[in-house]
Amino acid sequence: MKNSAFIKAIEDITEVFRFDFWMRFYYIFEENNKLYLRVPDKVLQEIDEKNPAMTGLVEMLNNDEIDQQKSTNSVCSYVGARFDGTKFSSKIVPRVFDSKQFKINMYLFNLWIKGHESYLESEIMSFEEWKELYEGWISQKEVQDYIAKLQDSKEIEMLTVPGTQTIQ
């Protein structure tokens, strides 16, 4: 059994990665053959009110040119600054990225995105709406049965979660 700080670190770090994905899902725009993250002021205000812990991440990326590497570096920097040695012991955060539970969390989230992409694209939803939809999906019996199989699988340990290899 993992300790509660480790479990909380997995939850918090998973949330940052989900938020980053949500932000990029809706707010990346192409200009002059380059991609930019442009979160509207109204959405920024909503983030400040409902997800104030994510404001710093938005500020790191908003209105700048973005690519996968910059996004990865920014998320990892944000996680490092916000959690590593501050909220959690400096030994916990690096272990999160190698943990089976974090890999399962991210795998399931990516699976949910792929399965619901057309619905998610039908309108811009808030991060809270995404969380609610995801929680509804993950609580279904079929999904819970699948999670149990993943927990017992050795294959999940071989997965790498994109963007987590450069945390340090």
Model's pTM, two decimal places?
0.88
- Is 72 within a domain? yes
The alpha carbons of the chain give a radius of gyration, in whole angstroms, of: 16
pLDDT tens string 54-83: 999 999 999 999 988 898 899 999 999 999
Lookup result for tokens 């017992």: 152
Q: Would you call 32 helix, strand, or coil by DSSP?
A: coil
pLDDT tens string 82-98: 999 889 988 899 999 88
Q: Would you call 106 helix, strand, or coil by DSSP?
A: helix
Q: Name the DSSP letter for residue 165.
A: T
pLDDT at 166 exceeding the cut of 50: no
- Is 143 within a domain? yes
- Is 129 within a domain? yes
Q: Which domain holds residue 136?
A: 4-158
pLDDT at residue 2, as a whole number = 61
- Is 166 within a domain? no
- Is 43 within a domain? yes
**Domains in the chain, number:** 1
The average pLDDT across 162-166 equals: 46
Mean pLDDT score of the chain: 90
Rounded distance between C-alpha atoms, residue 90 and residue 80, angstroms: 9
Rounded distance between C-alpha atoms, residue 126 and residue 140, angstroms: 22
- Contact by Cβ (8 Å): 6, 95: yes
- Is 89 within a domain? yes
- Is 163 within a domain? no
Q: Which two tokens stand for residue 103?
A: 């890999």
Lookup result for tokens 């200009």: 31
- Is 167 within a domain? no
pLDDT at 162 exceeding the cut of 80: no
